[in-house]
Amino acid sequence: MRIALVMLPCWSVFTPPLGLSYIARILRQEGQSVTVFDFNARLWRAMQGQDEDWWDFAQYEHWQNSQIFEEQTLPAIKPLLDSLLKEIASRGFEAVGFSVFHTSAPCVRYASKMLKATCPKMKIVWGGPACTPQWVKEDLEDGTVDAVVLGEGEATAPELFNALAKGASISSMAGVAARGADGKMICGKKRPPVLAHELPLPQFDDYDLSLYQFFQLPIMMSRGCTGSCTFCQETVFFKPYRMRPAAHIAEEIEQGIKKYGIKDFSTCDSLLNGNHKILEQVADLICERRLDIAWGGYARLDPRLTVELLGKLQKAGCKWLSFGLESGSQKVLDLMNKGISIEQAAKTIRVTFEAGIETHINLIVGFPGETESDFDMTLDFLSRNWQFISLVNTGETLGVGPGMTLFEKPKAFGILTDKQGQVLYDINGGWMTKDGSNTLAVRRFRLKKLRRLCRDLGLQWNPESREQALSVTPNGGEQ
């Protein structure tokens, strides 16, 4: 089967998309003919030099909010986007697979409809983190998309495209959401987790690496997370946690250096330190093989990040670790099911910094149950530990959306719901607690306090450009 795999905006242009690299490689291994189109990067490059960069983190609403996308973004990108889509329509592909994120969903919808209208026989397949049954039901049932891969794609995609090539039935296929005979969505059963070390290494020959913002390659050492924080959507997707053997990871790093001449790696792990033993082996192998690389990534504030291990990581090129501290209040951390203690967190941040690794601290503003004095504890934490903190990711205020425990069980967290027990959002897309103490306005006020403190302490904070743009999406995705 002739398949086009496509990335549409908006997705970050730091590195080529790793998800499509994995899918392309496995489909080719199974004998399919695959062409990858990174229209996201091509559009980004083509639109450089304009007043605003819509790929900037402050501009998500241009892509994520369907109304804004249709009214403002689409008119601006349509001529170019349409010509790129015509490239696909004219080349006789029998199927197109899109990688879908919340930030690219409106654009993917537009492209899918356009291709369906031009090439009615072309099969449209979606995969990616935005593909949950709730999100895709309407698009499946109205015919915008023919099949949706739910979760990891490497085991499902080959079987799905094979069946599509043969015209076989795909409804009830494991890992797939499709239309049943009555036109309603049917979801097949879940697939076992993919073991990435049994897969061929992802390749990046499909991409023009000069298009991207950084000369970096993405790498995923593990899948899943050992935690189960109640505000996080990550755990639903890659379940359970698994880390690749160290030798397999080192092989991919060597490939990046030898084949692509790249020494800078951007890790795509939900957390790097889910298995400290393998992480140490990775560091040892990087040093033994004298792989002169730079890397960093998300990590948990775990006491097993000892001075010794951190020293090894630093020698192995680890430049930064990004920690989910989230709050300075133990009560709030416990409500989040974060599984860390404030004292331990402070110690790990300090020893990481002292080991010569930048510490990036992620905070969550306005968790349900967080009072003003709880929030002040977060500010106090920063005031006490600022000298060991390289960067604070303030994010926006806490959004509540599908995939989070907060969204599935809002009442347990005191979140106001409608009669059906679903989270109730105000006209700005903000959720609120039942007692009215935690509203979007309250959360925005706290966020301002936090950013002001960062400024006063001389702490670098992110996203600085978003100070004024405290945007919220209609589905409550305040981020």
**Minimum separation from the CB atom of position 308 to ligand B12 (A):** 27
Give 59's contacts (C-beta < 8 A, 6+ positions apart). Answer: 10, 52, 53
Q: Would you tell me how many other CB atoms lie within 10 Å of the CB of residue 208?
A: 12
Q: Are 160 and 173 in contact (CB under 8 A)?
A: yes
Contacting range for ligand B12; rule: CB under 6 A; set: 101-109, 344-352, 428-436, 445-453: 101-109
Q: Say whether residue 234 binds ligand SF4 (CB under 6 A).
A: yes
Q: Say whether residue 215 binds ligand B12 (CB under 6 A).
A: no
For ligand B12, which residue of 19, 175, 324, 430 counts as binding (CB under 6 A)? 19
For ligand SF4, which residue of 3, 232, 253, 389 counts as binding (CB under 6 A)? 232
**Minimum separation from the CB atom of position 55 to ligand B12 (A):** 6
Which amino acid is it at 354? E
Residue 7 contact, options ligand SF4, ligand B12, none, Cβ 5-8 Å cut-off depending on partner type: none
Q: Could you tell me how far CA 427 lies from the centroid of its own chain?
A: 26
**Minimum separation from the CB atom of position 105 to ligand SF4 (A):** 21
Q: Say whether residue 93 binds ligand B12 (CB under 6 A).
A: no
**Minimum separation from the CB atom of position 241 to ligand B12 (A):** 11
Contacting range for ligand SF4; rule: CB under 6 A; set: 72-80, 96-104, 226-234, 307-315: 226-234
Q: Say whether residue 101 binds ligand B12 (CB under 6 A).
A: yes
- Between the two ends of the chain, the Cα-to-Cα distance in Å is 39
Q: How far apart are CA 213 and CA 219, in angstroms?
A: 16
Q: How far apart are CA 221 and CA 197, in angstroms?
A: 9
For ligand SF4, which residue of 235, 322, 348, 438 counts as binding (CB under 6 A)? 235
For residue 324, report the phi and psi dihedrals to the nearest 5 degrees. -85, 90
**Minimum separation from the CB atom of position 16 to ligand B12 (A):** 7
- Tell me the residue length of the chain: 479
Q: Say whether residue 227 binds ligand SF4 (CB under 6 A).
A: yes
Q: Say whether residue 410 binds ligand B12 (CB under 6 A).
A: no
Q: How far apart are CA 144 and CA 98, in angstroms?
A: 12
**Minimum separation from the CB atom of position 21 to ligand SF4 (A):** 22
Residue 353 contact, options ligand SF4, ligand B12, none, Cβ 5-8 Å cut-off depending on partner type: none
Which amino acid is it at 297? G
26 three-class SS: helix
Residue 10 contact, options ligand SF4, ligand B12, none, Cβ 5-8 Å cut-off depending on partner type: ligand B12
For ligand SF4, which residue of 88, 229, 283, 447 counts as binding (CB under 6 A)? 229
**x/- string (CB under 6 A) for ligand B12, residues 230-269?**
---xx-------------------------------x-x-
**Which residues, 139 to 198, sit near ligand B12 by CB under 6 A?**
149, 152-154, 157
Q: Are 257 and 263 in contact (CB under 8 A)?
A: yes
Residue 235 contact, options ligand B12, ligand SF4, none, Cβ 5-8 Å cut-off depending on partner type: ligand SF4
Measure Cα distances from 113 to 43, 107, 119, 335 in Å: 19, 10, 10, 43
**x/- string (CB under 6 A) for ligand SF4, residues 114-133?**
--------------------
Tokens 């309250």, located at residue: 442
Q: Are 334 and 312 in contact (CB under 8 A)?
A: no
**Which residues, 315 to 344, sit near ligand SF4 by CB under 6 A?**
324
* Residues 247-255: contacts with CB under 8 Å, at least 24 apart: 247/285, 248/196, 248/197, 249/219, 249/221, 249/282, 249/285, 250/282, 250/285, 250/286, 250/289, 250/291, 251/201, 252/201, 252/202, 252/219, 253/219, 253/286, 253/291, 253/293, 254/289, 254/291, 255/201
Q: Say whether residue 270 binds ligand SF4 (CB under 6 A).
A: yes
Of 159 and 326, the one with the shorter C-beta distance to ligand SF4 is 326
Residue 300 contact, options ligand B12, ligand SF4, none, Cβ 5-8 Å cut-off depending on partner type: ligand SF4
Q: Say whether residue 97 binds ligand B12 (CB under 6 A).
A: yes
Of 203 and 266, the one with the shorter C-beta distance to ligand SF4 is 266
Q: Say whether residue 10 binds ligand B12 (CB under 6 A).
A: yes
Of 116 and 300, the one with the shorter C-beta distance to ligand SF4 is 300
**Minimum separation from the CB atom of position 397 to ligand SF4 (A):** 16
For the chain, helix (H) and strand (E) counts, in that order, are 17, 16
**Minimum separation from the CB atom of position 298 to ligand SF4 (A):** 7
For ligand B12, which residue of 37, 38, 93, 129 counts as binding (CB under 6 A)? 129
* Residues 309-315: contacts with CB under 8 Å, at least 24 apart: 309/276, 309/279, 309/280, 309/283, 310/351, 310/352, 310/355, 310/357, 311/355, 312/280, 312/283, 312/284, 312/287, 313/279, 313/283, 313/355, 313/357, 314/355, 314/356, 314/357, 315/283, 315/287
Q: Say whether residue 225 binds ligand SF4 (CB under 6 A).
A: yes
Contacting range for ligand SF4; rule: CB under 6 A; set: 158-166, 224-232, 314-322, 468-476: 224-232
Measure Cα distances from 14 to 117, 215, 264, 362 in Å: 33, 8, 11, 20
**Binding footprint of ligand SF4 on the chain (CB under 6 A):** 225, 227-229, 232, 234-235, 270-271, 300, 324
